[in-house]
Structure 1
Amino acid sequence: MVNYPHMNEQGRAKMVDVSEKAMTRRTAEAKAVLRMKPETLDAIRKGTVGKGDVLAVAQVAGIMAAKKTSELIPMCHPIPLRGADIAFSFFEEDRLEVVARVKTDNVTGVEMEALTAASIAALTVYDMCKAHDKGIMIEETCLLKKTGGKSGDYLREEVKG
């Protein structure tokens, strides 16, 4: 049988042993883009959505999600985060971009924490705005960049330059 780090001797999934890896500074940045009716985006911008301040609630939800990633994704290691932040950008007349940035000093990376944070922040925007616009689409969820670790740095192609 081939030895894969994510499989045990029976060929079943396991959490990877990271006990021999070096402790390094690791960062990750991920995004999710929401597309919605222009009037929905305008209501978010003006703070007139009936459930309250959409971006404030989504920001807290994203940060909480980053901290809870190992409870949601079965093979993720629990990681003490050194920082987590969510930023929002309005672009075009119908799009909202959510960017999550996460940092740790640890033996494993925070890509999943950043992706989870961006995803949950986007889902929170949907939840708070669904009475206004059930057609909101969450799209383009992806890792933008990561630093640190054995595999080195990563920068998504379309953001280079």
Structure 2
Amino acid sequence: MTGTRLVPRSKRRRTQRGFALSTEAVILLPVLVALLAMVVVWSRYALATTAVEASAGSAARAASLAGSAAIARADATSVAQANLASSGLRCEGVTVVVDTSGFAVPAGQPAQVRVSVACRLRTADLGLPLGTVIVEQQGAAALDRYRGRE
């Protein structure tokens, strides 16, 4: 029995428990980091969607105030691009589609103008280096019922 040392049972448990906690930390840490990264990416995508939606709404409002369909298209496009630029989004391409069919409806009847705004974002801007994603939203605004339309 010389050279053999007995470890008390309470110390053995403590040593094993510490090993289990470090193993759990090694397993759970990557999961928690991935979860945090997903929350960051989702929140950045939500902010981009909100900015594009606000831009579409502002563009539709600007188009509804125009006197003709041609002016409405020009106003909506410029307002949408200006709003996206001021929101801080770095769109690789902005597409603005303006539905001016409401201008063909005779005065005195309800009509509206619809605007669709699409922004192509690099996913690296959202936190993922995977390519591009298109964020598209629509907006609509009523045309003045009693104003002449061209």
Give your verdict on TM over 0.5: no
For the aligned pair, the TM-score class normalised by the smaller chain equals 0.3 to 0.5
Using structure 1 for the length normalisation, give the TM-score: 0.34
Bigger relative contact order (CA 8 A; separation at least 6) = 1
Structure number with the higher strand fraction is 1
Using structure 2 for the length normalisation, give the TM-score: 0.36
